[in-house]
Structure 1
Amino acid sequence: MAKSSGFDLALIRNLGVIAHIDAGKTTTTEHLLYYAGAKHKLGGVDEGTTETDYDPEEQQRGITIYSACIPFQWRGYTVNLIDTPGHVDFTAEVERSLRVLDGAVVVFDAQKGVEAQSETVWRQANKYAVPRMVFVNKMDVVGANYAQTLQSIYARLTPDFASHGRPAPIIIPIGSGSPKDSATPFSGIIDLIEWKAMFFDQADYGKTITVEAIPADQEAVAQKYRDQLFDILTQHDEKDLITTAVLEGQTPDPEKVRQLVREQTLALKIYPVLCGSGREHIGIQPLLDAVTYYLPAPTDRPPVTGVNPKTQKEEKRKPDPKEPFCGLVFKAAWHPNGHRFFIRVYSGILKPNARAYNPGRDSRENIAKLFHVHADPNRGLEEVETAPAGDIVAVIGLKDSVTGDTLCETQHPILLETISFAEAVVSQSIEPDSGADKDKLTGALAILQLEDPTFKVKADKDTGQTLMSGMGTLHLEVKKHRLERDFRLKVRVGKPRVSFRETLRGPRSVEIEVKRKIGEREMYAWLRVEFTNMKSLTPVTVSNFLSSDALPAVLSHAADAALKDALQTGEFGFPMMNVQAKIMAARFDPQVSTEDAFARAAVEAYREATRDNIVLLEPIMSLRVSTPDEFLGNIIGDLSSRGGMIEHTESLAGGTSEVGAKVPLEKLFDYADRVRSLSQGRAASSMEPFSYEPAPDETVRRIRGE
């Protein structure tokens, strides 16, 4: 029996949990599900029994690789929760999740504070203007420091409060660390709004909460934090919800404080900060309450903006079931019984047996049935009757649509902004053990590309090898294991190598005339094309400024297609980037101008534009190393020898320092092992793609084979 998905949009929370790897994100998610009754037993990351880490690779490595979506109920609210990866190699999962979520909880390790991937996910949330809360986790570990974590958030993530908002603690810890290493171990939390202490019973995994008066030895620090909270809130209290009460020395009504916190959270003026410990089962229920109090419902988010493909005019869609339907395909997942496509419904209602229009591909899709999905795709699907605005559902068997595509009503077309992903930086050759499996491997690689927009496959023109490219060596290793486990393929892979890119050295305007006779057949075409450099990390684009009077559509399309195809690779055979080609003018002869003639003209324009005008680009990584101070010199010296540019060194607590550097990826394939040997195993490093920069001359000569 299909289940109705009709519900009050104000009671929906589309929530993401994001963090640096090992911040305790998945453990926190497990507790959210456990306390909400969505599961009856707590799973453990180390045991591989968590709800969201259902994939064998995730269970083996103890990390999240695939974003997982689980709906659950909490105090009358429906929460669509997405647990996302923390490892930089799987940043696409975070990017596409944040694109469709309404709010996020950012988890920080109380010992380590802001880490490299923390900054990445925070920037991604800024990009999509996602309201968020902060959960300082692991308050029970050695070296946990709430105040220091707050300070690192101030310094690294929100230095400009006017434009980026500021952290606003609403929950603070009682103690820190464990009984073994601390005189005042972490034992509970203080709610600054309700002005109460809360303690969690370890015997029933924190389900039983005891609310008490704030301990006398904690009152002074709690009052300090509360005064700071009210000071932050009253700066933007236009409705005078609490300002007068605060100025008169009265205690503000907690309900009005929560209202003000909610308004300022939705306006991105503040980020409520809470704390706790997933491992010790402390502070999770208040986090769930805060999700319902402070994070937005779909109706709190601004309308989505798109372009009408017929009129090319901007249009908006409100999160209202009465609006025409539109949604975004934000994830595709392979399944032996049919690929599953996840859709965020932004407006209107999506119903079973509907025909949805994909304006980006000018195609129509049959939507047979709608489902809500558990984290584990092997646990089955829950069929629903409708998917109104604000819902996230899965459908099976779309024919043409991929991640980032818009679906809408045919009579009310709208094309939403697609999802942009980072460029792949590492490649490996791959081939089947048996020649008989060549076609099977090709099909499996196509499926993996459908699932993951940052995973690319192409044939090397020089060697004939099949190359797979991704965000890092772990990313490619996971794909190899997927091929072996899910597709029963035995494969061989080559050594990892850098995925170079190419771009123009400078802009160039080209006029090309094709005028020749082949046998008895004449051909003629003339084009003027302007090639310009775009901002960094943008794909190649081709724009056609010709009117139908200047050139018949069939000839114009031929020039477009040929130019796009030619611009896929440059002089060295690597993908081109940061280039825009504009077809500005054309001349034709109705008697002898053909599609082939204009295709040739476009290709010759490309050759002329790139002749002695190509720059080879190499990926540069942003690297962070945390090390005991005694090994700092070793680390900096090694980075310098790799061509790294040291950007900062920062003293941390406990006699440790952090080094930030920009280093060519080609010099970092052995770095994880090297940094351990330089520090007796005590330093840790993390990296993420930063940019593409011109490669040094010796690299260019090596690529040329000189």
Structure 2
Amino acid sequence: MHVLNLGILAHVDAGKTSLTERLLHTAGVIDEIGSVDDGSTRTDSMALERQRGITIKSAVASFGIGDITVNLIDTPGHPDFIAEVERVLGVLDGAVLVVSAVEGVQAQTRVLMRTLRRLRIPTLVFVNKTDRAGARCDEVLRAVTGKLAATSVAMCRVEHPGTRAARTLACTADDADFTARLAEVLADGDDTLLAAYVRDEAALPYGRLRAALAEQTRGARVHPVYFGSAITGAGVDALVDGITELLPAAGGDAGGPVSGTVFKVGRGAAGEKIAYVRMFSGTVGVRDRLRYGARGEEGKVTAVSVFDQGTDVPSPSVSAGRIGRLWGLGGVRIGDTIGEPDGTPPGGGRHFSPPTLETVVVPCRGADRAALHLALSRLAEQDPLINLRQDDARRELSVSLYGEVQKEVIQATLADDFGVDVTFRETTTIHIERPMGTGCAAEILHADSNPFLATVGLRVDPAPVGSGVDFRLEVELGSMPYAFIRAVEETVHAVLRSGGIHGWQVTDCTVTMTHSGYAARQSHAHAVFDKSMSSTAGDFRGLTAVVLARALRQAGTRVYEPVHRFGLEIPADVYGTVLPVLGRLRAVPRTSSPHGASYVVEGDIPAASVHALEQRLPSLTRGEGVLEYDFDHYQEVATPRSSGGERRS
């Protein structure tokens, strides 16, 4: 039995979840196709997903096609939940990118395809909604080829598009236009095939073309395009054939060293953590002890389930190639490696832009403050990019966001799942701070200015852009218990996350511990251990926060705001009207060029100005303007704006 871990990706409302339902029905897993509008789909299991009719969390369903078990992962389409897609990409063997035949290639579609191509994930394109009024199949195919991937090949043609009678006909060896296009695209990626094509295109046997199509699709060099309707089922059988023929099965040695990746963390009915793991090598069984995560934690697996015929079922083990759910790993986090890291695939790390918005979460009842912190911590386990920040001085909790819809979902989840009613402060753009120079500070044990039983010295130095935070030691590792050094390191990261001089997260720096010292365990004569005379980890945490604040103040910091790279397609006759608006929004056009009756403007725009541009664009362009943007870099702010006021230490 082969396994294929398949992702379904799309711009919101392209019909991705409906296609998932149709695939499960075609495979015989479900007897009746659920409706997104009615909230009856298999993969949208959250109450909020059913109410809003959108996918918020990635979900796994399984079905069989011949001797292949397909683990199908349905991902959110709304850009506010791109973090869910981010976590799934690293566990896929292949993907189906869904495009609407009515709306066509949209901004999020292009972002997804760029990422799939960059990660070399084999991808099929399914143009959905061919039965809907306004379906533009030929135009959408041209857009797929022109905007998503030049190496796209239509595998079928559509009859009666835009009507309920729309149906697809598979392209065959007898279709001269199809074989010519296929030979042209495949020859461009295969020198041997190219030589044969140049000699005599007509002499290329169809079997050879088909074999080359499978090879190049699995290598993510060619992207077959299918047409159909998830609602009527038209074209879905052809898509299923393409999935089995053209996408690669999962690899991995079930007898090799254990290696897997956690791409989702849920909680069971009793509140226990459940890790969703894609196994790349080895086998994990019940009662196995596993090391996981960068922290080298260890846990005992208490239960295992694997996905089969639509849902997950209890199993004694999960092996290479499969997706399983593991119980018993209490400290597990999203992104953790299970076992050895060597078996995980390349391309890890961030694939999409980081969130650039932030809001303060305020409990409606003051007594709920502790419950709110616990609830947000639970949500941060499931979505680390929420990036929960706590400001102890102002007693505020902040979360990072991709957009306003995500804020609404957090509010509803806190109320429904945790019984905590909240409001939000105005959404602001996330800035960062970077050190301007070097700063040093130290406090010595038993000094009058030091209320803690500890010695801590720290030096803060600037580091290259994009390097994050690096903690180093200039003291001997054995100079004091490792638990104290670990407390200093953890506090350094926590303090820098919570905010620097201007209240924003500090990054791109190296923090070096230059002094250390502690009071050994001691007590009065014939008495038990007295922590008032002996250092504890709490002493080092408290002192580290004070010393680091002084070192940062000496180093000084600059504030930077996020900047997006944008592409704007507008009617040519409004070009002169739009440019001044871009200037007032601090956008910097880099290039502009005519494209038929349109102009395409590309450049940089501060993230804080994007929403205003989106609001003004319809009236400026008669509703014809199309804006795409993606995070590109941070730029220095001339007049730093504090996150709720300067920090004081």
TM-score range, shorter chain: 0.7 to 0.9
Q: How high is the TM-score relative to the length of structure 1? A: 0.76
Aligned to 1:541: 470
Aligned to 1:372: 306
Distance in 2, matches of 1:462 and 1:674, equals 39
String of CA shifts for 1:89-125, please: whole Å, max 9, x gaps. Answer: 1111111111111111122234554432223222332
String of CA shifts for 1:418-462, please: whole Å, max 9, x gaps. Answer: 654753322222233333433332222121111111113223345
Aligned residue type for 1:619: P
Distance in 2, matches of 1:134 and 1:252, equals 25
Distance in 1, matches of 2:5 and 2:379, equals 26
Distance in 2, matches of 1:49 and 1:684, equals 33
Mapped pair 1:275 → 2:275: no
Distance in 2, matches of 1:430 and 1:374, equals 40
Query: How far has the Cα of 1:228 moved from its partner?
Result: 2.4
1:207-226 correspondence runs (5 A): 222-226=175-179
1:96-115 correspondence runs (5 A): 96-115=87-106
Report if the CA contact (8 A) 1:526-1:598 is conserved: no
1:352-363 correspondence runs (5 A): 352-358=286-292, 360-363=294-297
Query: How far has the Cα of 1:659 moved from its partner?
Result: 5.8
**Aligned partner (choices 154, 158, 164) of residue 174 of structure 1:** 158
Mapped pair 1:321 → 2:254: yes
Report if the CA contact (8 A) 1:510-1:529 is conserved: yes
Specify every segment of 5 or more residues in structure 1 that has no aligned partner in the other structure, as ranges: 1-7, 159-165, 196-221, 300-318
Aligned to 1:189: 169
Query: How far has the Cα of 1:617 moved from its partner?
Result: 1.8
Q: 1:647 to 1:590 in 2, by over 3 A?
A: closer
Query: How far has the Cα of 1:297 moved from its partner?
Result: 1.1
How many pairs are equivalent? 627
Aligned residue type for 1:347: S
Aligned residue type for 2:464: M
Query: How far has the Cα of 1:610 moved from its partner?
Result: 5.3
Distance in 1, matches of 2:47 and 2:573, equals 39
Q: 1:99 to 1:46 in 2, by over 3 A?
A: same
SS of the residue 2:563 aligns to:
strand
Mapped pair 1:663 → 2:593: no
Report if the CA contact (8 A) 1:359-1:415 is conserved: no
Report if the CA contact (8 A) 1:88-1:687 is conserved: no
Across the aligned residues of Structure 1 and Structure 2, the Cα RMSD in angstroms comes to: 4.2
Mapped pair 1:336 → 2:269: yes
Mapped pair 1:447 → 2:375: no
Aligned residue type for 1:346: F
SS of the residue 2:505 aligns to:
coil
Report if the CA contact (8 A) 2:171-2:178 is conserved: no
**Aligned partner (choices 417, 423, 432) of residue 501 of structure 1:** 432
Report if the CA contact (8 A) 1:563-1:603 is conserved: no
Aligned residue type for 1:693: Q
Distance in 1, matches of 2:421 and 2:511, equals 42
Distance in 1, matches of 2:449 and 2:580, equals 70
Aligned to 1:395: 326
Query: How far has the Cα of 1:529 moved from its partner?
Result: 4.6
SS of the residue 2:18 aligns to:
helix
Aligned to 2:243: 291
Q: How high is the TM-score relative to the length of structure 2? A: 0.82
Distance in 1, matches of 2:189 and 2:57, equals 39
1:653-692 correspondence runs (5 A): 662-669=604-611, 673-676=615-618, 688-692=630-634
Aligned to 1:532: 462
Distance in 2, matches of 1:134 and 1:402, equals 32
Report if the CA contact (8 A) 2:471-2:511 is conserved: yes
Distance in 2, matches of 1:155 and 1:542, equals 46
Aligned residue type for 2:261: L
Report if the CA contact (8 A) 1:136-1:274 is conserved: yes
Mapped pair 1:564 → 2:493: yes
SS of the residue 2:151 aligns to:
strand
Aligned to 2:527: none
Q: 1:323 to 1:84 in 2, by over 3 A?
A: same
Q: 1:546 to 1:270 in 2, by over 3 A?
A: farther
String of CA shifts for 1:571-595, please: whole Å, max 9, x gaps. Answer: 1111112334456xx5779999x99
Mapped pair 1:262 → 2:214: yes
Distance in 1, matches of 2:54 and 2:199, equals 45
Distance in 1, matches of 2:224 and 2:171, equals 12
Q: 1:628 to 1:129 in 2, by over 3 A?
A: same
Q: 1:635 to 1:481 in 2, by over 3 A?
A: farther
Query: How far has the Cα of 1:699 moved from its partner?
Result: 4.4
Q: 1:50 to 1:132 in 2, by over 3 A?
A: same
Mapped pair 1:233 → 2:186: yes
Aligned to 1:407: 338
Distance in 2, matches of 1:133 and 1:46, equals 26
Aligned residue type for 2:229: S
Aligned to 2:32: 41
Distance in 2, matches of 1:545 and 1:422, equals 35
1:58-77 correspondence runs (5 A): 58-77=49-68
String of CA shifts for 1:11-67, please: whole Å, max 9, x gaps. Answer: 211100112223222222222222111222223333333322232332333322211
String of CA shifts for 1:231-262, please: whole Å, max 9, x gaps. Answer: 332345578799489837346243x4332222
Query: How far has the Cα of 1:612 moved from its partner?
Result: 6.0
SS of the residue 2:88 aligns to:
helix
Query: How far has the Cα of 1:386 moved from its partner?
Result: 2.3
Specify every segment of 5 or more residues in structure 2 that has no aligned partner in the other structure, as ranges: 521-534
Distance in 1, matches of 2:449 and 2:473, equals 32
1:451-462 correspondence runs (5 A): 451-462=382-393
Identity of aligned residues (%): 25
SS of the residue 2:210 aligns to:
helix
1:609-688 correspondence runs (5 A): 611=554, 613-622=556-565, 636-646=579-589, 662-669=604-611, 673-676=615-618, 688=630
Q: 1:238 to 1:619 in 2, by over 3 A?
A: closer
SS of the residue 2:233 aligns to:
coil
Distance in 2, matches of 1:396 and 1:170, equals 44
Query: How far has the Cα of 1:383 moved from its partner?
Result: 1.2
Query: How far has the Cα of 1:534 moved from its partner?
Result: 2.9
Distance in 1, matches of 2:115 and 2:38, equals 31
